[in-house]
Amino acid sequence: MQDAAGAVVAFEHVTKRYGRSGGPPAVDDLTFTVAAGEICVLVGPSGSGKTTTMKMVNRLIEPTSGRITIDGQDVMSLPAVELRRRIGYVIQQVGLFPHLTVAENIAVVPGLLNWDKPRIQTRVEELLDLIGLEAGSYANRYPAELSGGERQRVGVARALAADPPVMLMDEPFGAVDPIRRDRLQNEFLRLQDKVGKTVIFVTHDVDEAIKMADRIAILQRGGRLAQYDAPAAILAEPASEFVEHFVGADRGLKRLSLNRVSDLELTHPIVVRAGDDRAAARARLRDGDGAGYALLVDAEGRPIGWIDDDELAGGGTITANAARAGAVTVEPETTLRDALSALLGSSVMLGVVVDERERVIGLVSVESISDRLRQAGSPT
Amino acid sequence: MELFGQGIAWLADPANWTDPRNGIFLRLWEHVSLSAAALAAAIAIGLPIGLWIGHTGRGATAVIAIANIGRAVPSIGWLGIVFPLTLVALGRGGLGFVPSVIALTALGIPPIVTNAYAGMREVDADLVEAGRGMGMRELDVVRQVEIPVALPVILAGIRVSAVQIVATATLAAIVGGGTLGDFIIQGIFVRALDRVVGAAILVAILAILTELAFSLLERRAISPGIRRGGQTAPIEPGGVALPRVAG
Amino acid sequence: MNAGEPFIRFDWIIDNLDQIGQRLGEHVLMVVASVLIGFAISFGLALLARSHRWTYGPIIAVTSTLYAIPSLALFVLLIPITGLSLTTGIVALVLYTLLILVRNIVVALDGVPPEVVEAATGMGYGPLQRFWRVELPVATPVIVAGLRIATVTTVGLVAITTFIGLGGLGYLIINSGTRRFFPTSIYVGVALCVVLAVVADLLLLWLQRRLTPWAAAQGR
Question: For residue range C76-129, what is the model confidence (pLDDT) as tens digits?
Answer: 888 878 777 788 889 999 999 998 899 999 999 999 999 999 999 999 999 999
Extended beta strands in A128-179, E state = 166-170
Q: Quick check: A91 and C137 CB within 8 A?
A: no
Give the length of chain A: 380
* Tens digits of residue pLDDT in B117-148: 999 888 888 888 888 888 888 888 888 888 88
Q: How far is C132 from chain A (nearest CA, A)?
A: 12
Residue B231 in this model has a pLDDT that exceeds 50: no
- Distances in Å between the Cα of C131 and the Cα atoms of A9, C106, C109, C121, C210 are 31, 13, 9, 10, 20
| pLDDT score recorded for residue B234 | 35
Residues of C in contact with B72 (CB under 8 A): 152, 193-194, 197-198, 201
pLDDT score recorded for residue A183: 86
Instruction: Tell me which of C189 and B145 has the higher pLDDT.
Output: C189
Q: Is the pLDDT of residue A114 over 80?
A: yes
Q: d(Cα B89, Cα C13) in Å, to the nearest integer?
A: 24
Output the CA torsion sign for B233, B238, B243, B244: negative
* pLDDT above 60: residue A78: yes
**Is pLDDT of B241 > 60?**
no
Of C168, C194, C204, the closest CA to residue C24 belongs to C168
Give the burial class of C64: count Cβ atoms within 10 A of its Cβ; 0-12 exposed, 13-18 middle, 19 or more buried: middle
Nearest to C138 by CA among C159, C163, C108, C167: C108
Q: Terminal CA-to-CA distance of chain C, rounded, Å?
A: 49
* Contact (CB<8Å) C100/B236: yes
Burial C4-39 (b: 16+ CB within 10 A, else e): eeeeebeeeeeebeeebeebbebbbebbebbbeebb
DSSP bridge pairs for A41: A201, A216
Q: SS3 for A331? A: coil
pLDDT digits (tens, 9 = 90+) for B37-46: 999 999 999 9
Neighbouring chains to A with at least 3 Cβ pairs closer than 8 Å: C
> Can you name the residues that pair with A30 across neighbouring β-strands?
A14
Judge: C116–A142 Cβ closer than 8 Å, yes or no: no
* Residues contacting residue A136 through CB under 8 Å, at least 6 positions apart: none
Are A279 and A260 spatial neighbours (Cβ–Cβ below 8 Å)?
no
Percent of chain B with pLDDT over 70: 89
Find the closest chain B residue to C104 by CA distance.
B234
Distances (CA, A) of A280 to A113, A277, C209: 63, 6, 61
Stretch among A254-263, C53-62, C97-106 having the lowest mean pLDDT:
A254-263
| Cross-chain Cβ contact A141/C119 below 8 Å | no
User: Does residue A64 have a pLDDT over 70?
Assistant: yes
Give, in degrees to the nearest 5, the angle at Cα B116 between B110 and B122: 130
Assess contact for A59 and C179: CB atoms under 8 A: no
The residue ranking higher by pLDDT, C48 or B14, is C48
Whether residue A61 is predicted with pLDDT greater than 90 in this model: the reply is yes
Distance CA B45, CA B39 (A): 10
What's the mean pLDDT in C179-189?
87
Q: What is the largest CA-CA distance in chain A?
A: 83
Mean pLDDT of the residues in chain B:
83
Whole-angstrom Cα distance, residue C127 to residue A84?
A: 13
Band (B16; pLDDT cuts 50, 70, 90): confident
Among C129, C214, C218, C220, pick the best mutation site for testing chain A contact (most A Cβ within 10 A): C214
> Is it the case that residue C137 has pLDDT exceeding 80?
yes
Instruction: Tell me how far apart the terminal alpha carbons of chain B are, to the nearest angstrom.
Output: 47
| Predicted local distance difference test score (pLDDT) of residue A81 | 94
Q: Is the pLDDT of residue A225 over 50?
A: yes
The rounded distance, in Å, linking the Cα atoms of C189 and A3 is 69
Contact list in C for residue A84 (CB cut-off 8 A) is: 121-124
Residue B93: pLDDT band (50, 70, 90) is confident
Question: Can you tell me the distance from the alpha carbon of C93 to that of B140, in angstroms, rounded to the nearest whole number?
Answer: 46
Identity of residue A149: G
Chains C and A touch (3+ CB pairs under 8 A): yes
What pairing do the DSSP bridges indicate for beta strands A198-203 and A39-43?
parallel
CA angle B213, B235, C52 (to 5 degrees): 90
Global pTM value:
0.80
Strands (E), C44-182: none
- Partners of A143 in beta bridges: none
* Residue C190: pLDDT over 80: yes
pLDDT band at B230 (very low <50, low <70, confident <90, very high): very low
Q: Using CB atoms, which chains have 3+ pairs under 8 A with C?
A: A, B
Question: Which residues face A34 on adjacent strands?
Answer: A9
Give me the sign of the Cα torsion angle B99, B100, B106, B107.
positive
What is d(CA A66, CA A56) in angstroms, rounded to the nearest whole number? 11
Contact between chains at C72 and B181 (C-beta distance less than 8 A): yes
Query: Cα separation of A242 and C72, whole Å?
Result: 74
In whole angstroms, how far apart are CA C217 and each of C108, C213, C214? 19, 8, 5
- CA distance linking residue B102 with residue B183, whole number of Å: 22
Cα–Cα distance, A12 to A241 (Å, whole number): 25
DSSP calls for A74-87: EGGGS-HHHHHHTE
CA distance B34 to B142: 31
More confident residue, B228 or C75: C75
- Phi and psi based region of residue B188 (left: phi greater than 0; alpha: psi -120 to 50; beta: remaining): alpha
Mean pLDDT across A255-282: 83
Which amino acid makes up residue A347? S
How many other CB atoms are found less than 10 A from the CB of residue A367? 11
Closest Cβ opposite residue A60 in set C121, C134, C214: C121
- Asked if C126 lies within 8 A of A81 by C-beta distance, the reply is yes
Nearest CA to A171 out of A189, A157, A152 is that of A152
Distance CA C84, CA A191 (A): 73
Contact C72 B207 (CB under 8 A): no
- Vertex A368, ends A328 and A253: CA angle to 5°? 85
Report which residue type is found at B97. Answer: F
A168 and C125 in contact by Cβ < 8 A? no
Interface check A100 vs C, CB under 8 A: yes
For residue B108, give the nearest of B157, B57, B156, B180 by alpha carbon.
Answer: B157
The residue type of C31 is: V
Whether A314 shows a pLDDT value over 50: the answer reads yes
Look at residue C165 in the predicted model and tell me its pLDDT: 84
Mean pLDDT, to the nearest integer, of A90-118?
A: 93
Q: What is the ipTM of this complex?
A: 0.83
Distance from CA of A58 to the nearest CA of C (A): 7
- Over residues A157-205, the pLDDT tens digits come to 999 999 999 999 999 988 788 888 888 899 899 989 888 999 999 998 8
Return d(Cα A274, Cα A297) in angstroms, integer.
8
A360-365 and A350-354 beta bridge pairing: antiparallel
Residue A321 three-state SS = coil
Half-sphere exposure of A97 (CA within 13 A, CB side): 31
> What is the Cα–Cα distance from B109 to B54, expressed in whole angstroms?
15
**pLDDT, tens only, A342-372:** 888 777 678 899 988 888 888 888 888 888 8
> Once rounded to an integer, what is the mean pLDDT over residues C133-142?
94
Q: Give the count of alpha carbons within 13 A of A373, CB side only.
A: 17
Share of chain A above pLDDT 90, in %: 45
Other C-beta atoms closer than 10 Å to the C-beta of B20 total: 7
Four-point Cα dihedral A30, A32, A37, A41, nearest 10: -50
Q: Chain B partners of C198 at a C-beta cutoff of 8 Å?
A: 72, 245
Residue A320 DSSP code: T
Per-residue confidence (pLDDT) for residue C124, from 0 to 100:
92
What distance in Å separates the CA atoms of residue C196 and residue C138, rounded to the nearest whole number? 29
Do the Cβ atoms of A142 and C217 come within 8 Å?
Answer: yes
Q: Which chains touch B (3 or more CB pairs under 8 A)?
A: C
**Chain C residues with CB inside 8 Å of B75's CB?**
156, 160
Q: What is residue C176's predicted lDDT score, i.e. its pLDDT? A: 86
B7 falls in which pLDDT band (50, 70, 90)?
A: confident
The H or E element that residue A88 is part of is strand A87-90
Q: For chain A, give the mean pLDDT.
A: 87
Q: Contact C72/B174, CB-based, under 8 Å?
A: no
Per-residue pLDDT band for C3 (boundaries 50, 70, 90) equals low
